Structure 1
């Protein structure tokens, strides 16, 4: 079990855990997950952590799209954001890059989910370890994280 799965169990939401054999040579963990799980890549989301001065923000983005830093900054009402340092991400979230889950992080960070998730019955996000995804309702994810939907992916 990972902290992400434990949170989902504790909060008694509907979810399914999906495991696959992770290839360390994969160029994109999210695309690999979609391919190996045989699901539409528009339903598989990656978890990215960005920084604004000293604040960290989590962005949950479809794996086939790019995070537009300017759109995210505008959407959350800040001047500028950039990708957070890997060491800071791992220390703050408790997860290794490539396995960062929006759920079960050491510290609950402000989280925004790309608005494309709203049209999905369920989405897949990392369950906190490479090769393990959790499928759940995007609305449940919003509730668990006190997150909100914003448009910031291209």
Structure 2
């Protein structure tokens, strides 16, 4: 599998050290992040999923643990809006340049405001999509925030 994606190229340009993890992506998985975590043998709390949302009609990107759910109220607040909804997959693909199941917070075609779930950044290393279905990147939370130009905010529903 080729490893050069817009996401890995963005990490390379940022001078960020990362480790690649590949797995056999299976189309039709309901919970892609959980499937990826299981496939690479990682704790689902360390494997983060990238979700495209719209806050008051404006695009934004939320990154949360694969075993958590977004709180749309918290997402709206994180991006300074009143309401938030999930972005339809076709629009997310056009905006980011990635296919669903392969959307990365790094190297998106059109940059959107980006936030990581604050509680997910307590791990020494986190794992995110590398810009292609079946390709994950592992790096430090600080490097991920810097490379994505993201902020840490509360984003997930209370569990």
> Which TM-score tier does this pair reach, normalised by the shorter chain?
over 0.9
Q: CA deviation at 1:53?
A: 3.4
Aligned to 1:116, the other structure's residue is in SS state: helix
| 1:51 matches 2:54 | yes
Q: How does 1:5-154 map to 2 (within 5 A)?
A: 5-154=8-157
Q: Contact 1:108 / 1:145 at 8 angstroms: preserved in 2?
A: no
Q: CA deviation at 1:118?
A: 2.1
TM-score after normalising by structure 2: 0.92
TM-score after normalising by structure 1: 0.95
Q: Contact 2:78 / 2:115 at 8 angstroms: preserved in 1?
A: no
Instruction: Report runs of 4+ in structure 1 exceeding 6 Å deviation.
Output: none
Show CA shifts across 1:114-150 (max 9, x none): 0122201111111111111011111111111221000
Aligned to 1:105, the other structure's residue is in SS state: coil
Task: Structure 1: state its 5+ residue gaps.
Answer: none
Task: Calculate the aligned-residue CA RMSD, in Å.
Answer: 1.1
Distance 2:57 2:122 in 1: 33
